[in-house]
């Protein structure tokens, strides 16, 4: 039975769900976490920032009339664009017929609109688009916590490393979190994390924590076909259980990527705080072939000299 949302007495949590490539289950994880958090009494807003390929609305069984781009362009107030869903969270949809990126002015307008929500939510879960584009890096950087989603495939891991490197260069944080999706078991997830963390520690002077793992489970496909998150359609499946465990982990674990003193506790101050840092543009380069070979079992890649360095 769903618990009624509670008054604003908890610090705000802003969580970005990001990935280096598509097809790793990012949106299913984002929506499932949001639904489970809402079922435990948290007031949750999902921001679907995957403007070109937004589909969080499909898993939440809603038909949006307006989207994030309309808010950013001043066509509709954010209160009219946010819609309640039958599964608990509210949704700021990302659907747009004629946009794939936001301009700097549109980002600023969107942040001002989010700022106006005050303390309406306890959790904001941002489903970013995949890859190294400016939009996904901006929205991930504009979050208190970043969960990187990967699978054990070498290509997915190489793209995850490239995304982690870009985010660490763009922000001041020295720690990110990882979820290994479609893993055979905890041991495979731990091996994946160990190799990825080795590269991040050696070449980025940072660390990636293993926040959780999700089993490879055919029930996920069935849930997608039913247009439902796995925690609703198949809550007792292996994937459903692992996602609910991840939700519990997030609730019990205080954020560690940004120092507490750097994060305002109210939504209306958070977006002002992060905008400048999130807007920084730094080179975002794909991983080298040596990195992909490393994740396939090859040797540790050699350090790459900075752009413009002498041979």
What DSSP string runs through 186-242?
A: HHHHHHHHHHHHHHHHHHHS-EEEEEEEEE--THHHHHHHTTS-HHHHSTTSHHHHH
In the prediction, which pLDDT does 257 show? 59
* Average pLDDT of the chain, as a whole number: 84
Which has the higher per-residue pLDDT, 303 or 241? 241
pLDDT of residue 273: 56
Residue identified by tokens 């490197």 is: 165
Overall average pLDDT of the 229-251 stretch:
95
**Is the CB of residue 266 less than 8 Å from the CB of residue 100?**
no
Q: How far, in whole angstroms, is CA 251 from its chain's centroid?
A: 16
Phi and psi for 146 in degrees, rounded to 5?
Answer: -125, 125
Quick check: 292 pLDDT over 90?
Answer: no
Closest among 150, 181, 180, 15 to 89, alpha carbons compared: 15
**Please, what are the domains in the chain?**
13-255 (3.40.50.300)
Residues 134 and 29: their CA atoms lie apart, in Å, by 22
Determine the number of helices (DSSP H) and then strands (DSSP E) in the chain. 13, 8
- Report the half-sphere exposure of 288 (CA within 13 A, side-chain side): 12
Residue 234 pLDDT grade (very low, low, confident, very high; cuts 50, 70, 90):
very high
Q: Which two tokens stand for residue 12?
A: 């705000």
Residue 286 has what pLDDT? 73
Whether this model's pTM surpasses 0.95: no
Whether 4 has a pLDDT exceeding 90, the answer reads no
Based on the number of CB atoms within 10 Å of its own CB, is 22 exposed (0-12), middle (13-18) or buried (19 or more)? middle
Percent helix, strand, coil in the chain, to 5, is 40, 15, 45
Alpha carbons 75 and 151: distance in angstroms, whole number = 38
The pLDDT of residue 172 is 76
pLDDT of the residue at 282:
61
Q: What is the pLDDT of residue 141?
A: 87
Number of residues assigned to the chain: 311
First-last CA distance in the chain: 64
Query: pLDDT-based confidence at 54, cuts 50/70/90?
Result: confident
Residue 30 three-state SS: helix
* Residue 112 pLDDT > 80: yes
- Is residue 275 very low, low, confident or very high in pLDDT (cuts 50, 70, 90)? low
Which of residues 236 and 114 earns the better pLDDT score?
A: 236
Task: Judge whether residue 116 has pLDDT over 60.
Answer: yes
Alpha helices in the chain (DSSP H): 26-39, 56-59, 68-72, 78-81, 104-115, 134-141, 154-170, 186-204, 219-225, 230-233, 238-252, 267-278, 289-295
**Helices 26-39/238-252 angle, 10° precision:** 60
What percent of the chain stands above pLDDT 70?
A: 81
Give the pLDDT band of residue 58 (cuts 50, 70, 90): very high
Contacts of 137 (CB under 8 A, 6+ apart): 166, 167, 170, 284
Can you read off the two tokens belonging to residue 107? 């980002």
Pick the more confident residue, 87 or 135: 87
What is residue 270's predicted lDDT score, i.e. its pLDDT? 56
pLDDT at 14 over 60: yes
Q: What is the mean pLDDT of residues 223-252?
A: 93
Give the pLDDT confidence score for residue 277 in this predicted structure: 54
Is pLDDT at 53 greater than 90 in this prediction?
no
Band the pLDDT of 143: cuts 50, 70, 90: confident
Question: To the nearest whole percent, how much of the chain has pLDDT over 90?
Answer: 56
Under the banding of pLDDT at 50, 70 and 90, the label for residue 310 is very low
């Amino acid at each position: 039975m769903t618990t009624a949302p509670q008054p604003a007495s908890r610090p705000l949590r802003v969580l970005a769900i990001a990935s280096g490539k598509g097809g790793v289950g990012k949106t299913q994880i984002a929506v499932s976490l949001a639904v489970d958090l809402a079922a435990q009494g948290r007031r949750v807003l999902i921001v679907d920032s995957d403007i070109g390929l937004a589909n969080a609305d499909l898993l939440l069984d809603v038909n949006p009339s307006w989207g994030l781009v309309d808010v950013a362009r001043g066509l509709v107030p954010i209160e009219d664009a946010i819609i309640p869903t039958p599964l608990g969270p509210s949704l700021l949809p990302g659907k747009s017929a004629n946009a794939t990126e936001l301009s700097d002015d549109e980002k600023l307008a969107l942040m001002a609109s989010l700022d106006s929500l005050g303390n309406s939510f306890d959790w904001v879960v941002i489903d970013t688009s995949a890859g190294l584009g400016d939009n996904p890096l901006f929205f991930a950087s504009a979050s208190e916590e970043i969960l990187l989603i990967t699978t054990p495939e070498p290509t997915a891991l190489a793209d995850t490393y490239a995304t982690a490197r870009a985010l660490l260069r763009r922000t001041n944080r020295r720690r990110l979190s990882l979820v290994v999706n479609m893993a055979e078991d905890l041991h495979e997830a731990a091996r994946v994390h160990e190799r990825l963390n080795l590269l991040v520690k050696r070449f980025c002077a940072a660390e990636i924590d293993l926040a959780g793992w999700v089993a490879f489970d055919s029930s996920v496909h069935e849930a997608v076909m039913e247009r439902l998150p796995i925690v609703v359609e198949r809550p007792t499946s292996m994937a459903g259980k692992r996602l609910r465990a991840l939700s519990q982990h997030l609730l019990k674990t205080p954020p560690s990527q940004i120092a507490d003193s750097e994060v305002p506790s109210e939504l209306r101050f958070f977006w002002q705080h992060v905008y400048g840092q999130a807007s920084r543009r730094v080179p975002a380069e794909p991983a080298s072939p040596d990195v992909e070979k490393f994740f396939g079992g090859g040797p540790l890649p050699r350090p790459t000299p900075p752009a413009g360095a002498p041979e």
